[in-house]
Amino acid sequence: MNKINLFKPSKENLNIFLIIGALFFLLGVLDFCLNNFQGKNITFFLPGFISFFTPLIFGMIGLYLIRIEFSGIRLLDNLNKNINTSNFNAALSISIILLIIFSVAPLLNWFILEATFVGDSKEACTGDGACWVYIKTWFNRFMYGMYPNAEQWRVNATFIIVLGLMGAGYFSPLRYKKYLTFYYVIILPIISFLLIYYLISGGEFGLVWVETGAWGGLSLTFIVSFFSLIFCFPIGMMLALGRRSDLSVVKYSSLSFIEFWRGVPLITVLFMSAVMFPMFLPDGTYVDKLIRVIVAITLFEAAYTAEVIRGGLQALPRGQYDAAKSLGMGYWRLHFLVILPQALKLVIPGIANTFLALVKDTPLIFVVGLLELVGMLNLAKTNPKWLGFSMEGYVFAGIIFWIICYSMSKYSQSLELKYKTDR
């Protein structure tokens, strides 16, 4: 047995240092847990200030003792390399570990262990945790708004058909591929509009008419984002081309259009569509609230899309333009066959970010009185039978939006990889 110098961890006494270090580390965690969850302070004899930091100090001593280079144990080496390179790093690592312990346990309690899942009224929720009964009871409202329960199959059917049509384009045989853009930009929106008009709105073919004011919940989020997404892309493309045009009238009108929409908040645009826009129409004409909202959001996001696409256009080398021109291509053929396909590939992340922003902006339509998911939550929150469950509602909506947005951003990353070409 070699002599042990406690202040200099060395390879010779690896096991002893490992055991002592791990013990110190566990002691720190134990002290922290007892302090926070049991209300017991095992270091009560120390002055308050030091007692508060004991978990950190114990943990740091522990990590210091096991900081042995080239120990030969792969796990330990990895650990040291990744979270334990210096005292400062060790302190940060321990703070984060303690923070995770501190937040995970109560969250787990709230979400699952003490939560209520069974029941059908507020009285069922007796535990300290979340009351998921609330979400269960209001689920239909959160999904479909005030849409009549008996008619909700129509919304489902529409979404399934539209999704199917979108998938059909994706899996279409190779020889139809050249019509794909045409299909997505013109045919699909028309079909979806007709579907929504006849199936969701109803009024004909023996279907009960449901006014747009009754639409709501997550399905409305989808409808608004779907149409705005589809329309804002071609408009943004034209604006981007317009902004780079040689014709000064076209250039400056596109420029001012883009800068106007980018300079104002969406909420004022929606205000405008709600209270100001009717003043600009001939007396007696009425445009449906939903359509006004979709137009407003489309124009707003088109300006952002235009700037993103312009970035792509600017990134292309001049040679591409010159080469296409020398082949005798005119303005439109040059842009649609040579420039835009390359530019759009470059700006996939930017476009995805704009689309994400659009989806995240849809809750704002509460301004004009349309209640999508977040709006419905705020309505449900004020129901006298279900007071005091706003937390559950917001957490639920947060999870749904997070899943939608996160999968969209992951999808855009995969697209980016797929279309990446070496230049």
C-beta of 195 vs 364, nearer to another protein:
364
Alpha carbon distance 72, 158 (integer Å): 62
**Residue 298: CB minimum distance to another protein, A:** 16
Write out the two tokens for 266: 């969406």
Footprint of another protein on 50-89 (CB under 8 A): 82-83, 85, 89
Neighbour tally for 49: CB within 10 Å = 7
Neighbour tally for 388: CB within 10 Å = 11
C-beta of 180 vs 275, nearer to another protein:
275
Selected from 26, 104, 186, 281, the binder of another protein by CB under 8 A is 281
Selected from 162, 237, 299, 364, the binder of another protein by CB under 8 A is 364
C-beta of 192 vs 304, nearer to another protein:
304
Alpha carbon distance 373, 204 (integer Å): 28
C-beta of 54 vs 80, nearer to another protein:
80
Alpha carbon distance 286, 26 (integer Å): 70
Cα 322 to Cα 54, 177, 241, 317, 331, distances in angstroms: 70, 28, 17, 9, 12
**Residue 110: CB minimum distance to another protein, A:** 12
User: How many residues line the site for another protein (CB under 8 A)?
Assistant: 57
**Residue 199: CB minimum distance to another protein, A:** 28
Determine phi and psi for 138, rounding to 5 degrees: -95, 5
Footprint of another protein on 238-277 (CB under 8 A): 246-250, 253, 259-260, 262-268, 271-272, 275-276
What sign does the CA torsion over 215, 216, 217, 220 have? positive
**Residue 254: CB minimum distance to another protein, A:** 9
Footprint of another protein on 371-390 (CB under 8 A): 374, 377-378, 381, 390
C-beta of 56 vs 264, nearer to another protein:
264
C-beta of 35 vs 80, nearer to another protein:
80
Neighbour tally for 343: CB within 10 Å = 22
DSSP string, 122-144: GGG--SSS-BHHHHHHHHHHHHH
**Residue 117: CB minimum distance to another protein, A:** 20
C-alpha count within 13 angstroms, C-beta hemisphere, residue 296: 27
Alpha carbon distance 416, 414 (integer Å): 5
**Residue 12: CB minimum distance to another protein, A:** 28
**Residue 16: CB minimum distance to another protein, A:** 26
Q: Report helix, strand and coil shares of the chain as percent, to nearest 5.
A: 75, 0, 25
C-beta of 7 vs 280, nearer to another protein:
280
The residue to which tokens 């120390």 are assigned: 46
What sign does the CA torsion over 356, 361, 363, 369 have? negative
Helix 217-243 vs helix 248-263: crossing angle, to nearest 10: 150
The residue to which tokens 């053929």 are assigned: 333
**Residue 271: CB minimum distance to another protein, A:** 5
**Residue 248: CB minimum distance to another protein, A:** 7
Write out the two tokens for 333: 């053929």
Selected from 360, 387, 413, 420, the binder of another protein by CB under 8 A is 360
Alpha carbon distance 105, 111 (integer Å): 10
C-beta of 188 vs 270, nearer to another protein:
270
Residue ranges binding another protein (CB under 8 A): 82-83, 85, 89, 92-93, 96-97, 246-250, 253, 259-260, 262-268, 271-272, 275-276, 278-283, 356, 359-364, 366-367, 374, 377-378, 381, 390-391, 394-395, 397-398, 401-402, 405-406, 409
